[in-house]
Chain A
């Protein structure tokens, strides 16, 4: 079957020559991947800027944010650069929404999925290139709507990124008029974009693999993208329904979530979190895929337990559908439900412990090269373990009685998501940048960027766990209004300074990224010593991905250190040793 599919897609398309068809409305998966990266990096900058602003407010409440002092006294928004509680609520809401839906998903799933699936499975392009183009432009539309919501009357959405009704369901409760409607619209479009993308991410690996690329010879990165796409497609339905209900409640006077009309606020939480936990893996699994690829390549060692890792991740994926109420232990849910959900939640640690142990075993008796991508992979793994173990506290319903809605929870999910989105995302960019642009990013500045990001992260989020244990509640704009938190306030200042340093280090990355486009070292086909198919074609690959025929596959991926071979590895397209 793969033979016929491959030959069918061998039919050569001409490369587009006009600027618009090549760079703007392109159907080439590699260009679309770059477009996703630029959308994600733009939003990452905005999300980081918002974080800077609300961290300023937390450290030095009601003082003008440095850099915003020029705003006039009569302005509706941040007069004289001061952040009040209204603006603060909008900032944290938009920060969460942006980072999860407009950075994490485009950067990890969409851009890496688009770039890597055809190159890794041996296809000329994605299965549905026009649908692919549509998905990126729907996301661009969603981005414009979300951006516009900052500037409408009443300001941007301010009901938390989780948008719990009744707060989000009535204008009177928040004072936000258009903001939440636009927020819901942007989210709905983002989901539509990823539904289209998800179809491509499933159909391409299943139907368009080259000859010899059996399912269990696919690189783990592809497996992770496939599993993430399945999780997304299966979980997003309830949330779309919830978003429609909320729009109706806001605009047409229905009462799905309003108790005075017979609705139930908890219904939204069920719909939201039924999606919410699989969504964590939608974000995390591609990052895990990156770590697996990079750790195997740079340790020159085959993955310890390729198939069991796939089964473990599938198990975690299935479990992720029956854990959602761990966000709701103290929400007023029947308390007898807490223990079953606590058990399923904590059980997720078993498959992920399996994956972590497999990665550690992969490093054992290996031959490690500490290039920039490897630093990000190891750093990401290290912080992911940190986020994993702090998750056990949150997974316990009993401990949740105290730490729910404290900064401990915020610190926990930043450990998992920051390690996935940023350490994993940067890892992917440093690793595949040579393939995308034909040049290697600067190693020295890459390592500086890693050191600043890794240590900066720890400097912000380790103390955040501690103040959370001290009881400091999240989503509060000024902790000095509480006697209990005043002694902890110096830590707020420390975390803000550390966050600013962390943010500034990202400019090292930005400069390196742009500079290397022109002055980076030429990459050649295979700069890192990878075994998978994307390293068998020139960098950047031409339109259609391989100048000649698509290579055939004869080996499993990650065949490093195979006994009896001459070099260090056997690439997937080489004859079996």
Chain B
């Protein structure tokens, strides 16, 4: 199952995948153990002539221990998953790093509109520039996105970045990523947003440093 994951191109993607992998192995072992036990019981304890079942109502502590000990193990593993996961969650969603590259995303039926603040670094000024469905960022730099919406809920999803964040009208929700590889990545909308939801997508272009500078220079000449 792990091999089905899309390749990872962000700095925190590996952390997200490591939690995925950890859960995969933990629950995989439990899953196989219970299925094998079930199958064994069906085969081994099929009805035979003269066979009588054991009378074990599980009402003594010594009988209950057969259940309680595995449950305690489940509890410990649960908490392990929770706390390791919480660290990665905090890294991706809570402790968001500052950045030089800030992009404002406005989602509406059925487009992603990316607004760049231009050379002055401020939104709402004359040198702002809007790009429909195309997002350009430099590689190996923290990129900050501020997600806003105009109509219904959309969801910004870049599978290769392991980043997903709903875009809710009436709210400004921050997100970030740092790409580790250049390339062109799809941005499907992941939340049902109406008849145009199917096919609502944009592209994220991750450029090498120099190429990104060229792109900036081309769009804001003289800056």
Chain A positions within 8 Å of B, measured between CB atoms, are 84-86, 88-89, 158-160, 164-167, 173-175, 259-260, 263-266, 299-308, 330-332, 335-336, 338-339, 342-343, 346-347, 349-350, 353-354, 356-358, 360-361, 363-370, 378, 381-382, 385-386, 389-390, 392-393, 396-399, 401-402, 404-406, 465-467, 469-471, 473, 475-478, 481-484, 556, 560-563, 568
Contact = CB atoms under 8 A, between A and B. Distances in A.
B148 to A, nearest CB: 10
A374 to B, nearest CB: 9
Contacts of A265: 153, 168-170
Contact of B166 (A299, A331, A367): A331
Given A167-B153, A466-B1, A484-B159, A365 B86 contact: no
A390 B173 CA distance: 29
B54 A339 contact: no
19 contacts: A175-B195, A259-B171, A264-B170, A299-B45, A301-B56, A305-B59, A306-B59, A346-B82, A357-B67, A382-B38, A392-B81, A401-B163, A402-B159, A465-B1, A467-B4, A471-B159, A476-B197, A478-B199, A484-B6
A360 B41 contact: yes
B195 to A, nearest CB: 5
Interface centre among B5, B15, B47 (most CB of A within 10 A): B47
A354 B74 CA distance: 9
Given A339-B89, A368-B47, A484-B186, A350 B71 contact: yes
B45 A365 contact: yes
Nearest to B68: A354
Contacts of A367: 45, 47-48, 51-53
B26 to A, nearest CB: 8
Interface in B190-205: 190-199, 201
A385 B74 CA distance: 14
B67 A398 contact: no
Q: What 10 pairs across the A-B complex have the smallest Cβ distances?
A: A259-B170, A305-B58, A471-B159, A389-B27, A335-B93, A363-B41, A561-B53, A301-B53, A365-B54, A304-B58
Contacts of B131: none
B222 interface: no
B34 A166 contact: no
B220 interface: no
B152 A166 contact: yes
A358 B81 CA distance: 24
A469 B181 CA distance: 21
Interface centre among A300, A389, A399, A406 (most CB of B within 10 A): A399
Contacts of A401: 16, 89, 92-93, 162-164
Contact of B35 (A358, A370, A385): A385
Nearest to B30: A389
Interface string B58-97: 1100011011001100110011011001101110111000
Contacts of B66: 357, 361
Contact of B46 (A264, A330, A370): A370
B56 A302 contact: yes
B164 A305 contact: no
Contact of A85 (B1, B71, B151, B195): B195
A314 to B, nearest CB: 15
A306 B26 CA distance: 28
Contacts of B90: 335, 339
A364 to B, nearest CB: 6
Contacts of B41: 360, 363-364, 366, 368
B171 to A, nearest CB: 5
Interface centre among B6, B35, B46, B168 (most CB of A within 10 A): B168
Given A360-B37, A390-B27, A473-B157, 20 more contacts: A166-B151, A173-B109, A300-B52, A303-B57, A332-B166, A346-B81, A347-B75, A357-B66, A358-B67, A361-B66, A366-B45, A367-B47, A370-B46, A392-B81, A396-B81, A398-B86, A401-B93, A471-B5, A475-B197, A482-B201
B115 interface: no
